[in-house]
Each structure stands twice: as structure tokens, then as C-alpha cells.
Amino acid sequence: MQGVLDFSSILGERVYNTREIDYDFKLVNSSYENRKDVERSIKQQLMLYSEQRLYDTHDNSYFWLGKCKSVSVKHEPVKRAFIVTITFTVYPFMFTLSNYFDDVWDSFDFDNGIAGFTKYKVSGSKDIVLINTSSTTIGPEVEVTSDMKVTVDGQTYLYKAGTSTNLSMGLQPGINNITVEGTGTIRFRWHAEVMG
């Protein structure tokens, strides 16, 4: 056989590894002692924590999920400055700040978002449409007031009264036609995951 076998889509969609993102900051006109104090403070504030949300003002409506991998510093003694490079290891996709659909207009993304219903009253059987604006399949949190059956792509999932996430049930990117059976209210919640 020749070439390379590409198994990146063996599960039906491309699977990504965690990624690294870097941020560079510069401190100018500062004594060496102060630069060392700032370096120590940055490491203390970032390196001690495990995975958490990372907000970047470049992408106001989103956050990354990850942790600080390294803090490296390059001193420029002549300029009394240094450049610090902070590297984070993050989940491959950014998450939207708000769940779909929280009806939060301050953070609604008018360019990429979809305003759609995600809460329904069901009496018997109901066909609904959920639109996933993610770049990947997501497993929504499902809240039901009584036991219900949810059918997606020919697969049926049983939900007991309460809130749960079944990672086997995924919403594909785009339009998802779903059938819900039962009596009560069902609500779907998720953060869209987009390539950043």
C-alpha cells in the first residue's frame, strides 16, 4: 500500500487533538528586579490551576477550556523590558458563552447564532427541529419533567424525569429532526462548539 491511511473521520466526523494557543505580552521600562517579580507573579497566577475557562477579548462571545502549559520569558536588558509568552493547552473548539437558547441578547451572535426554540410541551408525540451551530457534534443537556423517549437519527434514548446528558445522543452540526414521546416539558441546552 502507498500513501497514508487517514482515520481522522472514522467516527463519522473529524476528531481533533487538544491544541495550544500562545499569548505574548511585553513589559517595558522596568528594572530587572521588577521584571523577575512580575514573572514570578504570572507563573503563580497561571501555573497552579487545572482546566478552567479562558476568555480572550479577540473572541468576545466565546471561551476556551484549558490550562496553562508554560510561561516563558525573554529579557531585553538594554531596553529594560521582557516579553512573556504564555502557552495554554485547550480543548480543540471554543464554546459559546451562553447556552442555546438562553434568550440572552447581550451576548447573542447575530452573525453566527441561531434563535430557535429548545423548550417544548409534549403530549403524546411531538416532532421538533433543533439547529446546532457547532462545528462538531455535541451532547446536549436534556431536562424533562417526566420520563420521555427521544429519537434522533433512528436511535431512541430514554430520559428519566430530571436533568441529564447522554453522551451517546449527539446533535449533528446543522438541522436535527427529533421525535419526543411522553407527557410533560422537555428542554435541550448546550454550548455551541466552534473552531477558533
Query: Is position 85 within any domain?
Result: yes
Closest C-alpha to 150, from 137, 136, 164: 164
106 within domain boundaries: no
- Sign of the dihedral through C-alpha 87, 92, 93, 99: negative
Mean residue pLDDT of the chain comes to: 90
Q: Please tell me the total count of domains within the chain.
A: 2
Is the pLDDT at 118 greater than 70, yes or no? yes
- At 25 the pLDDT is 94
- Cα 15 to chain centroid, rounded: 15
- pLDDT for 108 equals 64
The predicted structure's pLDDT at residue 4: 80
Q: How far is CA 175 from CA 4, 38, 153, in A?
A: 33, 49, 11
Q: What is the SS3 assignment for 139-164?
A: CCEEEECCCEEEEECCEEEEECCEEE
Residue 170: CATH number of its domain:
2.60.120
The pLDDT tens digits of the residues spanning 155-175 come to 999 999 999 999 889 999 999
The answer as to whether 114 is a domain residue is no
Q: Note whether 141 and 76 are same-domain residues.
A: no
- Does residue 74 sit in the same domain as residue 130? no
Looking at the structure, do residues 188 and 126 belong to the same domain, yes or no?
yes
**What domain range is 170 assigned to?**
119-194
Q: Which amino acid is at 47?
A: M
Domain presence at residue 98:
no
Q: Which one is predicted more confidently, 110 or 160?
A: 160
pLDDT for 77: 86
102 confidence band (pLDDT: 50, 70, 90): low
Q: Is residue 36 part of a domain?
A: yes
Model's pTM, two decimal places?
0.78
pLDDT at 144: 97
| Pair (86, 132) in one structural domain | no
